[in-house]
């Protein structure tokens, strides 16, 4: 698989920062090692938020985005960060890095798309390389039971019912 070090950037739909710099975004890139790396961009500053294998990254981030609830916490470059939804059923998750130094909200569907796109080729490669166990269905057979067979037979005896 050929890897290009090109990121998918998701821009914040709102942000509160002390120095009011642009852009405020998250970058998603597939590394040469086959990991997805998420980087928080604030102006010229970038902080690696999370990096893990494609499937682990998907397991960590996608359920929270799809459920539109939950909190994900971490630490990067000596700064604590938190990713959460403000209210129940909010469409815009927030990410705060540090003590409110970098605070931004994002569109969940854009984050979902970026995460899936960043890892889709690697996931396809993993799935093509893995062979699944063949299960023998003949060994554990079960008898088919027709509980309503008699009722069905009685219903067939009637040609037409006049009302």
Output the CA torsion 91→9→20→13 (10° steps).
-20
| H helix runs in the chain, sequence order | 54-67, 108-129, 149-157
Q: Does the pLDDT at position 19 exceed 80?
A: no
Residue 77 to residue 106: CA distance in whole angstroms: 22
pTM for this one? 0.71
In sequence order, the 6+-apart residues with CB closer than 8 A to the CB of 112 are: 62, 65, 66
What are the residue ranges spanned by the domains of the chain?
8-129
Residue 159 to residue 163: CA distance in whole angstroms: 13
**pLDDT category, 45, cuts 50, 70, 90?**
confident
First to last CA, the chain: 70
**pLDDT category, 54, cuts 50, 70, 90?**
very high
């Amino acid at each position: 698989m050929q890897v290009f070090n090109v990121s998918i950037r998701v821009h914040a739909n709102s942000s509160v920062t002390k120095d009011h710099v642009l852009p405020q975004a998250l970058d998603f890139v597939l590394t040469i090692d086959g990991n997805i790396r998420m980087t928080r961009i604030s102006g010229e500053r970038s902080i690696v938020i999370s990096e893990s294998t494609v499937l682990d990254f998907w397991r960590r981030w996608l359920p929270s985005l799809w459920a539109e609830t939950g909190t994900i916490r971490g630490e990067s470059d000596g700064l604590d960060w938190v990713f959460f939804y403000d209210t129940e059923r909010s469409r815009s998750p927030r990410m705060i890095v540090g003590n409110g130094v970098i605070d931004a909200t994002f569109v969940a569907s854009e984050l979902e798309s970026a995460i899936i796109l960043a890892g889709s080729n690697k996931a396809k490669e993993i799935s093509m390389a893995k062979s699944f166990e063949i299960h023998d269905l003949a060994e554990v057979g079960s008898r088919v039971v027709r509980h309503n067979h008699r009722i069905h037979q009685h219903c067939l005896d009637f040609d037409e019912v006049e009302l």
